[in-house]
Structure 1
Amino acid sequence: MDHRFKISRREAWLGTGLAVLNFVWWYAFAYGLGSKPVKEYTYILGLPAWFFYSCVAGFLLFSFLVFLMVTFLFKEVPFDEPEEKEKERVR
């Protein structure tokens, strides 16, 4: 098996895990804080706290996590095959 498939599978699992974590974050804040009556809401920057934490803070946090993941965990992988394998395949 080509090493590139192993790397891409690992990166796909990391991306999927981050997406699931993002959904859990959003759901927990949106439905956890947003399930109270409207009169009991607290506000941050004019937005209900549940919206601020689930959408604004969550977006900023997960954008930063994506940046960190791409910078430190993802590897640059060439798309073209090495010349030796190309020559073997042509024969």
Structure 2
Amino acid sequence: MKKGTDWRYRVSNKEAIMGTVLAILNFIWWYAFAYGLGGRPVKEYTYILGFPAWFFYSCIVGFVVFTVLVWIMVKFFFKEVPFDTEEPKPKEGGDVR
């Protein structure tokens, strides 16, 4: 079976793109909060639950947000794909045993 004709390649490519986009968004989130809030002198930091705000938002909140996003993506957008190399054959006339 050719790579371009198998429907499983289209599904896996779409899911790979979705995963890559989510990983890039995670990095942007982390970078923006870590360097956006953490680029000031330490005396100007604000603290949340004993953590600097930049760490709390970039590492703790970011982890929770992107864990939920991954769960949503897998639950609602990913499809179950069989690993069999044979295509299913249609049944004719009934069940033959």
For the criterion TM > 0.5, the same-fold answer is: yes
Say which structure is richer in helix: 1
The structural deviation recorded for 1:83 is 4.6
Gaps of at least 5 residues in structure 1 are 85-91
- Are positions 1:30 and 2:34 aligned together? yes
User: Of 14, 19, 22, which aligns to 1:18?
Assistant: 22
CA distance in 1, matches of 2:61, 2:88: 47
Q: What count of residue pairs does the alignment treat as equivalent?
A: 84
1:68 maps to a residue whose letter is I
Structure 1 residues 5-84: aligned runs within 5 Å = 5-80=9-84, 81-84=86-89
**Structure 1 SS opposite 2:20:** helix
Q: Which runs of 4+ in 1 moved over 6 A?
A: none
Gaps of at least 5 residues in structure 2 are 90-97
Q: Once superposed, what is the RMSD of the aligned Cα atoms?
A: 0.8
TM-score, normalising length from structure 2?
0.84
| Higher RCO structure, 1 or 2 (CA under 8 Å, sep 6+) | 1
**Larger Rg computed on CA atoms:** 2
The structural deviation recorded for 1:62 is 0.1
